[in-house]
Structures are given as C-alpha cells and as structure tokens.
Amino acid sequence: MNSGRFTAVGSIKINTVSASSVVQFGDTCDSVRLFDRVLAIQRAIANFERDELSFESYPLFFLPSPVPVTPPPVQYRSEAPKGRILVGPVRVNGVSNSCFIRAGNGGGPHIAESRIVNIRHFNDRYALSGTSAGLQASSGEPG
C-alpha cells in the first residue's frame, strides 16, 4: 500500500448507517467481516410462544453460508493517476444490514452476511377494536 496515497470524494450524503455496516474512506490492508442476525416479531396482540424469542428456534441462523457458483458480473471503471483516488458525488439513502461502502483500496477478504427472520401477525381490525360497533360490524349486524 502506498503511504502517500490520497483519496478525495467530491461530496457525500448518507442518510443512515446502521446494523453492522461500515463507511470507509482511504486505503487499508484489513479484511472485513460483517455479520448481522435479526429476529423481528411484531403482533397486534402480544402472545409470544416459549422459545419464540431465541435465535436457536430458527434454523436459518445456523445454516451454512451460501457461496455463489460464479461471481456476479460487475462493471466498473478504475483510474488512479499519480496514486490518487478521485470519487465524484455520492448519494446513499441507507446503508444497513451488513453493508460496506469504501472509497479506496481495500485489503481482503471481505465477507458480509445478513440473516433476518420477520414475523408479522395482525388480526381483523374489528376484532381488535373491542367496541360494540366493531363487534356488530364483524358479525354483519347493522350498527
């Protein structure tokens, strides 16, 4: 790695960086390992099962990491005149769940993995209201 290397970004606007993500400017010889496990449970009425809130209850979190058979095609243009990296304007809405943004030369290897289980249970809105009008509407009787 060239110790006199210069990285310049014209402008950058990133709204959000979260959940095991990294934004980096400049060169590094370090490798990156980003790993994120998320268990999101949302219900209209709280009725949680005994083992439901444990990662161990979901096999997704323990499966081997998938490996692409062939690398995906990537198109890019790279020029570094006189050891400089010049990047134009960058606008990013969100960097989340094991994402990595770098302007500069990177070491390796870079591994990013995110495993998410979303559970959403919502009931009929009339049954949740608990009002007599809601009960009448759900039974088909006029209010």
For 25, the 3-state DSSP assignment is: strand
Instruction: Indicate yes or no: pTM above 0.75.
Output: no
Q: Alpha-carbon distance 33 to 45, whole Å?
A: 38
Q: Alpha-carbon distance 91 to 61, whole Å?
A: 32
pLDDT in tens, the chain (143 residues): 445 678 888 898 999 888 788 888 877 778 888 888 888 888 887 777 677 778 888 899 999 988 878 877 877 776 666 777 888 888 888 888 888 888 877 777 788 888 999 988 876 654 545 544 444 444 444 44
Q: Show me where the domains of the chain are located.
A: 6-139
16 exposure class (CB count in 10 Å sphere: 0-12, 13-18, 19+): exposed
140 contacts 124 by C-beta, under 8 angstroms: no
